[in-house]
Chains A and B, each alone.
Chain A
Amino acid sequence: MASFFGRLKSGGQTSPPTSAAPAKKDPNAPQPTPLEKLLADAGPVRGDGSDKFFGFENVSPADLYCNSIVQCLYYSVPFREQVINFPARSPPEALERPPGPLPRINTDVVNSSNGPITVLSPKGRNSVSSPTTASPRKSIVTPAGVLPPVANKPEDNKDSPEYKKKQAFAAGPVLRMDYENSQAYGMPESLFSALKDIFEAIIAHRSHIGVVSPYKFLEILRQENEMFRTPMHQDAHEFLNLLLNQVVENVESFSRSRVQEIDHKDPNSMGLTVNSPAVVTDRTSSVSTSTGWVHELFEGTLTSETRCLTCENTSHRDEAFLDLSVDLDQHSSVTSCLRKFSEEEMLCERNKFHCDNCGGLQEAEKRMKIKRLPRILALHLKRFKYTEDLQRLQKLFHRVVYPYYLRLFNTTDDAEDPDRLYELYAVVVHIGGGPYHGHYVSIVKTQDRGWLLFDDEMVEPVDKAYVRRFFGGENELACAYVLFYQETTEEAMIKEQEAESLAAAKQTAEVPSDPITVASPKANGAANGHPHLNATTPIAEQDDQFVSLNHAATAPPPIPTTEHTALDHITTNIPILGTRKSNLQSKKDKAEKAEKAKEEKERKAQEKELEKQAKQKRKEMETQRRENYRRQEEELRLALEASRNMATEETKQRKTEEYKRRATEEHKQKVNGFASIGRTSGLSRFRHTSMSLRHKPKFWKKDSDGEGNAQDNGNGNGDDKGEKKNRFSLGRKKSTFHL
């Protein structure tokens, strides 16, 4: 405790001078974080947001799930582009110059830009950007270069996540997202508009790095969804599903209203004078195609084939999904989990199938296959399983391996592009021993900066191999929970691998130029680093307190080293070879030298790259020629298929209509967090659920027979034994939550 107050005092004394004069060789000068180093050569800010690396403030411990998911979505290039371009790309000026309640981004920028902003310069880092950052500024000036701080508190350890988070928050700029721009977008306030606000703010900001405080987003989330109002620890996958559904819904209701407005020839529809041309394009583009963008990205189609064992009649039913939930086995792979998902399942005993053909409940075989492959495949690993003896959910620590690239085996024979190649681009990791508490982080592959770890405010570059740390297993607290795969091509894969090797070669070349750092005793602190503040998130009641505590935590200034060593006499870090980490510690002059070498190297690399590109081009042309031929064939095939589909579509449409109606009815009755969705979306379409293989959506069965549903629920209440245990899926879990 003494040290805590001590820090307060001493921090107050030391901070002003250092922050005022960050001399070049000042040992007390803030050391660039790994992220800053990574971005050292970042050019001017791009317009598409691909070079923005913002952490998210952990507003309240219960909202962890949100940060990791939003990060994953932000770094999905097509998703981000669609969000900022829908309904239309608002020019940054429109948002920055306040024609409404949106001056906040502005203030941030203005405040921090007294003088030209050099994004990563110490000036930028120390700039006051929002009230929250004012005080914690000092944490940057922790004695860095002199000695590794001997720490007894995790926050004091420079390699502890707590410290890094604080520092990130202090370094800012902090985008305090407590405003909303929905009017500028011409849409009502919604989760989508709040998400768009966040994305826009990040992109519009002149800094490459910073922290976002998504207050408004969470506020809207809580407003609209009872489930997320409780301070209970929430599930990241549920949040993803909810967010996607809401985005779909918001986007659609917006375009619907637009269409109506246009139809009514309302001249004030957008408050735009150039109404007619805009409207025309909007109507064609945003209504017919643009609104479908969430579907286009995340939606796939599952076909369930049910074969009645009595009459051998097979019925097919299609259903859309936005993500897939797969059951896990010990020592398995994602591939096999997906295959299991599509394995045949017997519908018997209580689960009998109502066959239209023989007219009655019959035993049947059922399997689900993917008919249309999504562009972004969100895979939810069902790590939280209901155990009956304990009457609660438990976390499965199974080791489930996932490859960097994936194709789907469980497609139907007539699926389009069944060999589509997916690449892993984001992993949401759950850390903790159980489902009711813990922490979420995400690891995301960025367009040109490799893999980054997003842990609330902290953003840190990580090695590609780091992604493989989260397979799970006996001693692993941190396991992958949601995997995001996006479609890619083999050419892109090869190109990326080449780039990786180039980068690796560069790195190994850099290491020897900086030999001391390898031996630096501090290089590895993270190895025996420190636990997460949020590891065992205190639930419920303490919640409010924690919000404020979190803020308080950022405030106390650090102790100067001298005092540190005097007070504490505990840990010494043992050096571990970590080239990557060691870069951290390089002294400035060394860094310069390395930079020169790097420049030289880069020049060479560039030459090589050019050469390679030329070659690549030639090769591409060659392949293109072949491709064209193939495409022609493909098109022919598609045309044939389309005409065939048309016929089936019509019949399907009729069916869907019916089952939509029932589904919405049922949803309204259901006591779950999604109730509010049903309210608005009921009109337009059946709801998108996340499909879990085991947990067949209830309204399916409902569709075919009324009793089936009741029985199904029976299973849910735990009177089922044996293998059915693992049929529990999140939908049911919810009910246990509210018990």
Chain B
Amino acid sequence: MFVLPPPPRYPAAGYPGAPGQGQLIETNNTLTQPAGPEYQLVVGEGTYVLRDDLYLATPPPHPSEAPIHNPNPLATTLSPPSAGTKLSLAVLSPRQPSASRLFRLETANSARSQLPPSIQESPNESNSQASDTGSFNANAIAPSPIEGLNAPAFGSDNPALAVINGKDSKDPLKRRKPKNNIVKSNSSFVSRVIPHESLSKRLQDHAPNGLYAFANVNRALQWLDLNSSTKEEHLTKILFTKAHALCHDVNQITKGPNHIDIVMGFSTGDIIWYEPMSQKYARINKNGAINNSAVSDIRWLPSSENLFLASHMDGSLVVYDKEKEDAVFVAEDQEVVESASVKQEKKTSLGVRKSVNSKNQKANPVSFWKVSASKINAFAFSPDNRHIAVASEDGSFRIIDFLREQLLHQYMSYYGGMMCVCWSPDGRYIVTGGQDDLVSIWSLEDSMLVARCQGHNSWVTAVQFDPWRCDERNYRIGSVGEDCRLLLWDFSVGMLHRPRAASVRQRNSVTSSTVKMQRTRTDGTASRLRSNSNLTSGSLLDDGEVVHAVEPRARTAMLPPVMAKAVDDHPLSWLGFEEECIITTCRNGHIRTWDRPKEGAGSEEAPSTTSASASNP
């Protein structure tokens, strides 16, 4: 008879990076100011220097979650999704829609000739131009409503929605707050709320143009004052029981000295609307009543006080109203929707499960679109407030006219999923990053791939335009990735087109003959969807028009980075450009602030920047 020895267990430690004893107590954030050449980014315009590194403490697991002593590395249970630290920034003083700056740039397009030909030659001018987002011109812009630039508000055609919107706009100064107090809440969803002991004093001390940030780390969400001398001390920290906040967004329209609307999307599918000043909150899509998959990205609809858009991991985009109750969602029969739009929807493979034009607008969701078969990783609103660019795990990125609820284009990554997307400030270009390690630049007007940027050593997790270094012809793009590196790219229209002009033109003709984008090359968005009148099988060819095939490598321009540097020890998850700095965050909770170069016109600029301070995110 054999006697079985006990099966060997994996050692708790003893190999590199073994999981140590997980910390079990709440710890404080730490702030360090590492210095040295490895903390400097050298670019053409000067040197960015690390101002500080704020490390957000990872909260211990909730007591209800027993620590796993001997984890099975092959356990087939799926852990809920988590996300690296991301920031939502808010500046209170210039009370103006964030989108307006982007708009200004586009209107400036008409006067293109007056603009400096290159950023490098005249950094100051480009700065001043970009700085109309700052507080100088803020007052001038603020009163002009963005809707004035002929992008109607979402759902403005639907009287069922208009009623509510109208009601709200009657007393715009008095913001509605959510109902429940989060500190006193006995919800099992919220575990603990830790306000700073001198919260009210710190709020008073906060400069009106100072930067508030909301940052998620693990199951916590922290409200930080980035301009405070003690910025490592959170203003408020919320610990959720189990759910991780994967994404959050601040409403740039409603924010004010006494009010900030922030929505967060959770790994459980829940969404929380939170007002930090009054510590009130409301829970939407409770327990996944409307959609039970995790929320991967969330954003307020541009220029809307109440509506926000959340992308769920099952591939749907859902518009919610912060003040509406949940109702069990049943996909609405498409006949309910106006018949004209139904046809459009069918053609464009955007599955409208509930249209914004639906008569039934008593409860959430406001609208529900099934966009993709797989998870949506990120989306971004265009500066003209008409389009959404949606990056999805199936490797596609789509441009949707959300006002008309139509899919306009679907592009494919070189391979692998798309991770992030953003629009150029003038709305002409879209930049995506993905699992092909590439940053890809797409032109909306030409509906084609402009260039691929190769330089990351791993997946690209976030891309941003630096609006302070963009003008009509030159664009500064930043990207961060799983390779812990920040890359900066200078992309100028001339630079790409001039040397390759011939080949670019030829490329178009080649692709149109071989790939399915024959008719797409008609210019302008308007004719794009109507050019198929002479074709019999409408739906099919519509599809053919909308979906663009992958461009072979041999035919695309490759762009090298102007700067590439490891800026953290952990994979990065978020990137933001501010007037004075670049901010990067990583998966483990480091927030690093990189000051922009101060040389050159620094003496003159210094006072203006301090007065202007940081501006909108």
Q: Do A and B bind each other?
A: yes
Stretch touching chain B among A270-278, A401-409, A588-596: A401-409
Q: How many Å lie between the Cα of A336 and that of B437 in the bound state? A: 8
Known: A331-B571, A407-B436, A626-B514. A475 touches B76 (CB 8 A): no
Q: How many Å lie between the Cα of A529 and that of B69 in the bound state? A: 10
Known: A154-B7, A463-B78, A615-B539. A407 touches B415 (CB 8 A): yes
- Is the beta-carbon distance between B14 and A406 smaller than 8 angstroms? no
Checking A421, A429, A433, A524 against B415 with a beta-carbon cut-off of 8 angstroms, the contacting residue is: A421
Q: How many Å lie between the Cα of A331 and that of B78 in the bound state? A: 23
Report if A536 contacts B (CB, 8 A): yes
Report if A478 contacts B (CB, 8 A): yes
Smallest distance from the beta carbon of B50 to chain A beta carbons, Å?
Answer: 19
- Is the beta-carbon distance between B415 and A622 smaller than 8 angstroms? no
Report if B154 contacts A (CB, 8 A): no
Q: Among residues 1 to 45 in chain B, which have CB atoms less than 8 Å away from a CB atom of chain A?
A: 2-11, 14-19
Q: Among residues 393 to 426 in chain B, which have CB atoms less than 8 Å away from a CB atom of chain A?
A: 394-395, 412, 414-417
The proximity string for B residues 270-311 relative to A, scoring 1 for CB distances below 8 Å and 0 otherwise, is 000000000000000000000011000000000000000000
Report if B68 contacts A (CB, 8 A): yes
Checking B2, B515, B550 against A548 with a beta-carbon cut-off of 8 angstroms, the contacting residue is: B2
Q: How many Å lie between the Cα of A493 and that of B547 in the bound state? A: 14
Q: How many Å lie between the Cα of A493 and that of B80 in the bound state? A: 26
Report if B66 contacts A (CB, 8 A): yes
Known: A1-B3, A530-B72, A630-B514. A433 touches B11 (CB 8 A): yes
Report if A192 contacts B (CB, 8 A): no
Checking A466, A548, A552, A618 against B540 with a beta-carbon cut-off of 8 angstroms, the contacting residue is: A618
Report if B472 contacts A (CB, 8 A): no
Smallest distance from the beta carbon of A557 to chain B beta carbons, Å?
Answer: 14
Q: Among residues 1 to 50 in chain A, which have CB atoms less than 8 Å away from a CB atom of chain B?
A: 1, 4
A4 contacts which chain B residues (CB < 8 A)? 3-4
B314 contacts which chain A residues (CB < 8 A)? 504, 508
Report if A145 contacts B (CB, 8 A): no
Known: A497-B394, A531-B70, A629-B514. A333 touches B482 (CB 8 A): yes
Q: Which residue of A lies closest to B514 (CB)?
A: A630
B240 contacts which chain A residues (CB < 8 A)? none
Known: A329-B457, A336-B458. A403 touches B10 (CB 8 A): no
Known: A333-B457, A395-B15. A418 touches B482 (CB 8 A): no
Q: How many Å lie between the Cα of A527 and that of B550 in the bound state? A: 40
Smallest distance from the beta carbon of A5 to chain B beta carbons, Å?
Answer: 9
B456 contacts which chain A residues (CB < 8 A)? 336
Report if A500 contacts B (CB, 8 A): yes
Interface size on A, residues (CB 8 A): 85
Q: Which residue of B lies closest to A464 (CB)?
A: B374
Known: A465-B78, A535-B9, A581-B77. A528 touches B66 (CB 8 A): yes
Smallest distance from the beta carbon of A237 to chain B beta carbons, Å?
Answer: 20
Q: How many Å lie between the Cα of A474 and that of B543 in the bound state? A: 45
- Is the beta-carbon distance between B484 and A331 smaller than 8 angstroms? yes
A332 contacts which chain B residues (CB < 8 A)? 457-458, 483
Q: How many Å lie between the Cα of A504 and that of B9 in the bound state? A: 35
Report if A476 contacts B (CB, 8 A): yes
Q: How many Å lie between the Cα of A265 and that of B212 in the bound state? A: 89
Known: A419-B550, A529-B72, A622-B544. A406 touches B416 (CB 8 A): yes
Q: Which residue of B lies closest to A617 (CB)?
A: B540
Q: How many Å lie between the Cα of A527 and that of B74 in the bound state? A: 9
Report if A498 contacts B (CB, 8 A): yes
B514 contacts which chain A residues (CB < 8 A)? 626, 629-630
B18 contacts which chain A residues (CB < 8 A)? 475
Report if A298 contacts B (CB, 8 A): no
A535 contacts which chain B residues (CB < 8 A)? 7-10
- Is the beta-carbon distance between A418 and B554 smaller than 8 angstroms? yes
Smallest distance from the beta carbon of A333 to chain B beta carbons, Å?
Answer: 4
- Is the beta-carbon distance between B7 and A533 smaller than 8 angstroms? yes
Smallest distance from the beta carbon of A81 to chain B beta carbons, Å?
Answer: 26
- Is the beta-carbon distance between A526 and B72 smaller than 8 angstroms? yes
A429 contacts which chain B residues (CB < 8 A)? 74
Report if B573 contacts A (CB, 8 A): no
- Is the beta-carbon distance between A552 and B4 smaller than 8 angstroms? yes
Q: How many Å lie between the Cα of A578 and that of B457 in the bound state? A: 33
A490 contacts which chain B residues (CB < 8 A)? 412, 549-550
The proximity string for A residues 404-435 relative to B, scoring 1 for CB distances below 8 Å and 0 otherwise, is 11110100000000110110000001010110
The proximity string for A residues 574-587 relative to B, scoring 1 for CB distances below 8 Å and 0 otherwise, is 10111011000000
Smallest distance from the beta carbon of B559 to chain A beta carbons, Å?
Answer: 15
A651 contacts which chain B residues (CB < 8 A)? none
Known: A497-B394, A498-B373, A501-B315. A475 touches B2 (CB 8 A): no
Q: Among residues 502 to 519 in chain A, which have CB atoms less than 8 Å away from a CB atom of chain B?
A: 504, 508
Report if B330 contacts A (CB, 8 A): no
Checking B66, B78, B435, B459 against A574 with a beta-carbon cut-off of 8 angstroms, the contacting residue is: B66
Report if A317 contacts B (CB, 8 A): no
A323 contacts which chain B residues (CB < 8 A)? none
Checking A153, A476, A553 against B73 with a beta-carbon cut-off of 8 angstroms, the contacting residue is: A476
Q: How many Å lie between the Cα of A336 and that of B64 in the bound state? A: 41
Report if B65 contacts A (CB, 8 A): yes
Checking A419, A463, A476, A527 against B553 with a beta-carbon cut-off of 8 angstroms, the contacting residue is: A419
Report if B71 contacts A (CB, 8 A): yes
Q: How many Å lie between the Cα of A705 and that of B292 in the bound state? A: 66
B64 contacts which chain A residues (CB < 8 A)? 574
Q: How many Å lie between the Cα of A577 and that of B268 in the bound state? A: 10
A421 contacts which chain B residues (CB < 8 A)? 415
Report if A453 contacts B (CB, 8 A): yes
- Is the beta-carbon distance between B513 and A401 smaller than 8 angstroms? no
- Is the beta-carbon distance between A401 and B482 smaller than 8 angstroms? yes
Q: How many Å lie between the Cα of A524 and that of B484 in the bound state? A: 34
Q: Which residue of B lies closest to A465 (CB)?
A: B78
B16 contacts which chain A residues (CB < 8 A)? 397, 474
- Is the beta-carbon distance between B73 and A578 smaller than 8 angstroms? no
Checking A500, A527, A532 against B68 with a beta-carbon cut-off of 8 angstroms, the contacting residue is: A527
B80 contacts which chain A residues (CB < 8 A)? 577
B68 contacts which chain A residues (CB < 8 A)? 527-528
Q: How many Å lie between the Cα of A629 and that of B510 in the bound state? A: 12
The proximity string for A residues 472-491 relative to B, scoring 1 for CB distances below 8 Å and 0 otherwise, is 01111110000000000010
Smallest distance from the beta carbon of A541 to chain B beta carbons, Å?
Answer: 14
Report if A335 contacts B (CB, 8 A): yes
- Is the beta-carbon distance between A531 and B543 smaller than 8 angstroms? no
Known: A476-B73, A535-B9. A401 touches B435 (CB 8 A): yes
Q: How many Å lie between the Cα of A549 and that of B373 in the bound state? A: 48
- Is the beta-carbon distance between B7 and A155 smaller than 8 angstroms? yes
Q: How many Å lie between the Cα of A562 and that of B386 in the bound state? A: 65
Report if B166 contacts A (CB, 8 A): no
Q: How many Å lie between the Cα of A457 and that of B513 in the bound state? A: 52
Report if A204 contacts B (CB, 8 A): no
- Is the beta-carbon distance between A552 and B74 smaller than 8 angstroms? no
A395 contacts which chain B residues (CB < 8 A)? 15
Report if A462 contacts B (CB, 8 A): yes
Report if A202 contacts B (CB, 8 A): no
- Is the beta-carbon distance between A478 and B544 smaller than 8 angstroms? no
B550 contacts which chain A residues (CB < 8 A)? 419, 490
14 contacts between A and B (CB under 8 A): A161-B74, A332-B483, A335-B458, A401-B482, A403-B459, A405-B416, A419-B554, A508-B314, A536-B10, A548-B2, A552-B4, A574-B66, A619-B540, A629-B514
Interface residues of A (CB under 8 A from B): 1, 4, 153-155, 160-162, 329, 331-333, 335-336, 395, 397, 399, 401, 403-407, 409, 418-419, 421-422, 429, 431, 433-434, 441, 453, 455, 460, 462-463, 465-466, 473-478, 490, 493-494, 497-498, 500-501, 504, 508, 524, 526-533, 535-536, 548-549, 552-553, 556, 574, 576-578, 580-581, 615, 618-619, 622-623, 626, 629-630
- The 8 lowest CB-CB distance pairs between A and B, nearest first, are A501-B373, A403-B416, A433-B15, A474-B17, A529-B72, A478-B73, A336-B457, A526-B75
Known: A153-B6, A553-B4. 10 other contacts (CB 8 A): A335-B436, A336-B456, A397-B16, A403-B417, A406-B415, A434-B15, A466-B76, A529-B71, A529-B75, A552-B4
